[in-house]
Chains A and B, each alone.
Chain A
Amino acid sequence: MEETKVLTQRIRPDRSAVWIDDYMDLGGYEALKTTLADYGPAEVGPLIKEAGLRGRGGAGFPTGVKWSFMPRFEDRPDERPAHVYLVVNADEMEPGTFKDRLIMEGDPHQLIEGMIIAAYAIGADTAYVFLRGEYTECRRRLQQAIDEAHAKGFLGENILDSGFSLNLHLHMSAGRYICGEESALLSALEGRRAVPRHKPPFPAASGLFGQPTTVNNVETICNVPHIVKNGADWYKSLGLNKDGGTKLFGASGHVAKPGLAEFPLGVKLGDVLEHFGGIRHGRKLKGLLPGGGSTPFLTPEHLDTPMDYDGVGAAGSRLGTATMVVFDDQTPIVGVLKNLEHFYAQESCGWCTPCRDGLPWVEKMLINLEAGKGQPGDLELLDLHVKLLGPGKTFCAHAPGAMGPLEAGLKYYRDELAALIPDDASNLSRTEAANANPL
C-alpha cells in the first residue's frame, strides 16, 4: 500500500535533518507567515477544530477543542497572567513507540513552526519542548533548529513584525515514563517529582506554574502547519473515515520489515501489517499491541479493523500512538505480559497505593506462572487486579494502562495461561481468597 506523506514528506531516506534553508525551500514557514498575516489569534483554533485533528499522543482528544479551553485576554489585557504556556510532550517512553523521534530528528523545523502557530493560537508567550532524556541526538538537532529559527526572526520578540513574541526552550527530562502523563509532565517541568495532579483544575485553567497551559503531543503539533497551509477540507479529506488526516504508523517485533510509515487514518490493520512485510520467517500472527504497551491486544480476527480512533476502539483496544508491537504464533503470551507488567511496575511513580503495590504483585504472579510455579486461582487473582487497578480506581491512567493488555491477554489467551498452572487441586486457598473478594 502506498504511503500518504504529509508529516514525513521532507524526511530523507538517510534521516539526516532538514535544516532551515532546505525547509524553507520546501515550503516551510509559509504557514507561519500566512497565520501571522491573515489570521487573528482566535481564528486559528476553529480552523484546527474544523479539520478534525485529534491528539496523536494516544488519547485522541480533539486539538481545536483543547485549545478553545484556554482563556483569552485580547479584550482584557489587564487580566493577562504573567505567562501563558504551550508545552509539547516529547517524552515518548511508551514501549514500542518511536514515531516522534523520527519527525523531530528528521524535520525539526516542522515541529517548531507548528509550535509557533499553536502558541499564537492559544495566546502563549513561552513554549517548552519536554524531551525525554535519552534522545540526545534529537536534542542536538532540535536545539540547532531553534537557534536557526531565532536567527531568521521566527522566534523571539515581535516575530515577522506581527507584534507576536514567543520564547521557545528545550527541556530535557531525566527519565520516567510517568512524565508523559500531562499533569505529571507539568510537575516535572517545574523541577519536582513527576507525580500526577488532580484534575480539575485542568491545565488550561491552572497548568505550568499555575498559569494557563496547553500540552500537545509532537505529532499533533506537526500537523498544524499543513492544516493552515492546505485548509480544513483538504485535511479532512485525507482520512478514510470520520477522523481527519494521516497518522504515523510503526511496526516492531516480529514483522519482516520493521519501521515507520504514514497512512490515512482509517487504513485497515491488515494493510498496515502487509506494508511492513507481514510476519517474519513465514510464521503466523498471534497478536499485536496496536499502539504501544498500554493498548489491549488485537488478534488475527481483527485484521479488517480500520485504524482510526473509533475503529480500534470498537475492536476493544485503542489506537494509542499507532506504533504497533507484533508477535508471532511461537511467542509465549506469559513472557509478553511479564515484560509489559515489569515495565509498568517499575515505572509507577508510587503516588497511589493500588498502582504502587498492585503492579509488582501482578508482575510477580506472571514471573511465577512463567516459571511453572503458578497456583490454582492465579488467573482469577489477575482478573481481580484488572478490576482493582482499572479506570477510576487509581489517581491517574498509569495502572489502567497496565491493565489494558493484561485484561486482553486473559481474554484471548486464557487457555494458554491456564495450561501453565500445575494441576494441584489441593491448593485452593488463593481461589477461595479471590472468590471471597469483599469488593
Chain B
Amino acid sequence: MIELSEAEIEGIKHEMSLYEDPGAATIEALKIVQEHRGWVSDEAMAAAAQVVGVTPTQMEAVATFYNLIFRQPVGRHVIMLCDSISCYLTGYEEVRDHLKSTLGIDFGQTTADGRFTLLPICCLGDCDMGPSMRVGEVYHNRLTPERVDEILAEYK
C-alpha cells in the first residue's frame, strides 16, 4: 500500500476535525488526494480510507458517486463543458462538436499528449454567459468555436 504525503494527511486530519463524526471527511479526503495526485487510484483511496477511519469499500461508494472525483488518470488540464439548458440554447452543440474534433477525443477521454481531458458537467452556474466551460479552475464563457481555439492555445 502506498503512503500519503504529510501534507495530504495533515489536510485530511484538519477536515476530520471540522465534523462531529470524523468519517464525514471522506469526500474532502478524496479531493485532497486528487489535488495532490491529479486523480484517485485504488491504492491512494485505501490509504485515505485508513486515515479517515472508514473501510476502502465505504470510501469507494463515495468516490464512485460524485462527479468531481476522478478514478482514472486525467490530463494536465481538465475541461468541463456545461451541457445544461441555458448553454444548450446558446450554442452548446456546436462548441461540443468543435472541442471533440479539435482534440480528437470524446467525453471521458484524454488527448494522447496528456494535455486535456474532456468531461461533460451539468450547469456551471454561469447561465447568463453561456455556453460555458471550466478549464482547471478557470471559467471561460460566451464560447464559440473560434473562442475555443484561442482558449486551448493558452493551455500548454
Contacts and interface: CB of A to CB of B under 8 A. Distances in A.
Given A174-B30, A176-B67, A331-B89, A134 B83 contact: no
Contacts of B28: 171-172
Given A95-B86, A258-B127, A175 B67 contact: yes
Contacts of A347: 122
B62 A191 contact: yes
Nearest to B66: A174
A339 interface: yes
Given A289-B85, A293-B84, A323 B127 contact: yes
B88 A339 contact: yes
Contact of B85 (A134, A174, A336, A346): A336
B110 interface: no
B130 interface: yes
B68 interface: yes
A191 B122 contact: no
A101 B124 CA distance: 10
Interface stretch (A221-229, A248-256, A312-320): A248-256
B27 A191 contact: yes
A96 B84 CA distance: 8
A174 B67 contact: yes
A154 interface: no
Contact of A190 (B24, B67, B80, B85): B24
Interface residues of A, number: 58
Contacts of B123: 93-98, 293, 343
B69 interface: yes
B57 to A, nearest CB: 12
Contact of A134 (B24, B54, B80): B80
Interface string A318-347: 000001010100010001100110110011
A132 interface: yes
Contacts, number: 146
A191 B26 contact: yes
**On chain B, which size bracket covers the interface?**
35 or more
A96 to B, nearest CB: 5
A134 B124 contact: yes
B125 interface: yes
Contacts of B153: none
A209 B21 contact: yes
B127 A98 contact: yes
Contacts of A325: 85-86, 89, 127
Closest 8 CB pairs of A and B: A175-B67, A174-B66, A95-B84, A252-B127, A258-B128, A252-B86, A191-B24, A191-B26
Given A133-B66, A192-B61, A339-B83, 13 more contacts: A95-B123, A95-B127, A171-B18, A176-B67, A192-B26, A209-B20, A253-B86, A253-B89, A258-B127, A293-B85, A336-B85, A343-B83, A347-B122
Interface of B: 18-21, 23-28, 30-31, 52, 54, 61-62, 65-69, 80, 83-86, 88-90, 121-130, 134, 137, 139
Interface of A: 82-83, 92-98, 101, 126, 132-137, 169, 171-177, 188-194, 208-209, 211, 250-254, 258-260, 289, 293, 323, 325, 327, 331, 335-336, 339-340, 342-343, 346-347, 349
